[in-house]
């Protein structure tokens, strides 16, 4: 059976909020349900039974068990719509879209919603391991004596929460520390990073002003726009910030801790047209990759460097065959190092096994409506934001191709191609 074309019909997200800001008391379920119901309302899906809803979160409480299914049950979708969670760090939202797209392409479902949510304001806190064991023993105890013995093991020093860390378990390095190493290896300058950050803010602000997000974003808890956006920032202001990772990476050229949710509707052409819904673009293909950042001398966030050439070779395209490039801005240095790697003859030959470098891209086509440096980066929500944004860009143009590249923790990368 030939694969069916997968249409991207629309998207919805809530504005992304700074950690500890407008969504400080909102849970993953609150935010994902809001984004999901906003999409249902916008596209007239109330009471509709979809093939499935796939989403996830990187930071989850135990109460977030079956998170996506609970959000479906709290929405106006038909409760007979199945749902499940997926998690691939920062690539979660895009990986969810890939899973839904593949089922549509195989004819297993006709339509599905993909997305993600994350909150660092309401991050789960683990118990001190000694405290956890004592409490588990207390829970297992069936007699008064057993409970007293368990309670006798409790100590004031055990009341110390295990706060989630932005660090790789196998290296102990945070994403920022790892990115700083890669920035140094590729000679990425502070000036380059600040310029990319400035462009992200300026382009996101311009997109808001021209109403680009009017049918992609809904107000939530008092926010109308992404809280991290600084439309009035300048190179001078960015240059005044002190480095936080290595000598060149600052809070201004690194994505901030953020809360938010984003979802996207994908469907077969027939399903969309039967309901008179728009087809913004088509989901063409995808590729994931992983690098050995522990022993292999690879940068933690460099996996997309490997995923993209494999994907291009499979579909017979070059890196220059795109009208838009959506490269997730975890850090400005990471985006710039990725571009430098694709331009480097030695790296492309020795590491990627290519006869020639992939080459440079037209920077005017890169993140044309801004990206994570300006909007923020609620880990699992970023993929949904990018897929919907790129699909609408292609719909506005009326034709063309777009490339998505998202780096992720664990030395992974998720990439995709959309077309119109």
Residues annotated as catalytic (active site), given as ranges = 90, 377, 407
In what helix (H) or strand (E) does residue 85 lie, and over which residues does it extend? strand 83-85
Q: What distance lies between CA 128 and its chain's CA centroid?
A: 30
- Residue for token pair 């991290």: 228
Is-contact 118 260, C-beta < 8 A? yes
Is-contact 161 128, C-beta < 8 A? yes
- Residue for token pair 């079956």: 66
Q: What distance lies between CA 395 and its chain's CA centroid?
A: 22
In what helix (H) or strand (E) does residue 67 lie, and over which residues does it extend? helix 67-73
Dihedral (CA of 174, 180, 186, 192) sign: positive
Question: 24 in helix, strand or coil?
Answer: coil
In what helix (H) or strand (E) does residue 282 lie, and over which residues does it extend? strand 281-290
Enter the tokens of residue 330. Answer: 């975890």
Is-contact 228 16, C-beta < 8 A? yes
* Cα R_g (the chain), whole angstroms: 22
Enter the tokens of residue 116. Answer: 């993600």
End-to-end CA distance of the chain: 23
Name residues whose C-beta falls within 8 Å of residue 162's C-beta, 6 or more positions apart in sequence.
125, 126, 127, 128, 129
Round to whole Å and give the CA distance between 178 and 182.
7
Q: Which residue in 257, 256, 255, 251 sits closest to 238, CA to CA? A: 251
Residue 352: count of CB within 10 angstroms of its CB: 17
Q: Which residues of 283-311 are buried (b: 16+ CB within 10 A; e: fewer)?
A: bbbbbbbebebeeeebbbbbbbbbbbbeb
């Amino acid at each position: 059976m030939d694969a069916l074309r997968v249409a991207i019909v629309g998207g919805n997200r809530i504005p992304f909020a700074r950690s500890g800001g407008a969504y400080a008391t909102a849970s993953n379920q609150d935010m994902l349900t809001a984004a999901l119901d906003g999409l249902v309302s916008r596209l007239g899906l109330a009471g509709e039974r979809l093939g499935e809803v796939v989403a996830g979160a990187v930071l989850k409480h135990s109460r977030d068990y079956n998170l996506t299914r609970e959000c479906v049950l709290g929405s106006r979708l038909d409760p007979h719509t199945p749902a499940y969670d997926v998690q691939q760090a920062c690539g979660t939202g895009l990986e969810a879209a890939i899973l839904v797209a593949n089922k549509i392409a195989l004819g297993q479902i006709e339509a599905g919603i993909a997305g993600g949510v994350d909150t660092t304001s309401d991050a789960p806190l683990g118990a001190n391991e000694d405290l956890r064991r004592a409490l588990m023993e207390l829970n297992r105890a069936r007699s008064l004596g057993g409970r007293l013995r368990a309670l006798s093991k409790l100590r004031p020093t055990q009341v110390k929460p295990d706060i989630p860390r932005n660090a790789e378990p196998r290296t102990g390095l945070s994403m920022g520390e790892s990115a700083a190493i890669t920035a140094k290896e590729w000679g990425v300058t502070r000036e380059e990073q600040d310029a990319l950050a400035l462009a992200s803010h300026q382009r996101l602000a311009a997109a808001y002003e021209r109403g680009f997000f009017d049918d992609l974003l809904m107000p939530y808890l008092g926010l109308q726009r992404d809280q991290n956006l600084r439309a009035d920032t300048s190179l001078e202001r960015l240059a005044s910030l002190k480095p936080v990772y290595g000598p060149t990476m600052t809070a201004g050229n690194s994505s901030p801790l953020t809360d938010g949710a984003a979802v996207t509707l994908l469907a077969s052409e027939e399903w969309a047209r039967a309901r008179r819904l728009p087809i913004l673009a088509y989901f063409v293909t995808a590729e994931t990759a992983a690098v050995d950042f522990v022993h292999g001398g690879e940068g933690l966030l460099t996996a997309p460097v490997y995923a993209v050439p494999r994907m291009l070779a499979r579909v017979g395209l070059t890196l220059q065959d795109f009208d838009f490039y959506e490269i997730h801005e975890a850090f400005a240095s990471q985006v710039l190092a990725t571009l430098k790697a694709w331009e480097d003859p030695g790296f492309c030959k020795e590491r990627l096994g290519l006869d020639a470098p992939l080459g440079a891209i037209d920077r005017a086509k890169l993140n044309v409506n801004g990206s994570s440096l300006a909007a923020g980066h609620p880990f699992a929500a970023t993929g949904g934001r990018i897929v919907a944004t790129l699909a609408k860009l292609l719909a506005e143009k009326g034709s063309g191709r777009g490339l998505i590249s998202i780096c992720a923790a664990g030395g992974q990368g998720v990439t995709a191609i959309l077309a119109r």
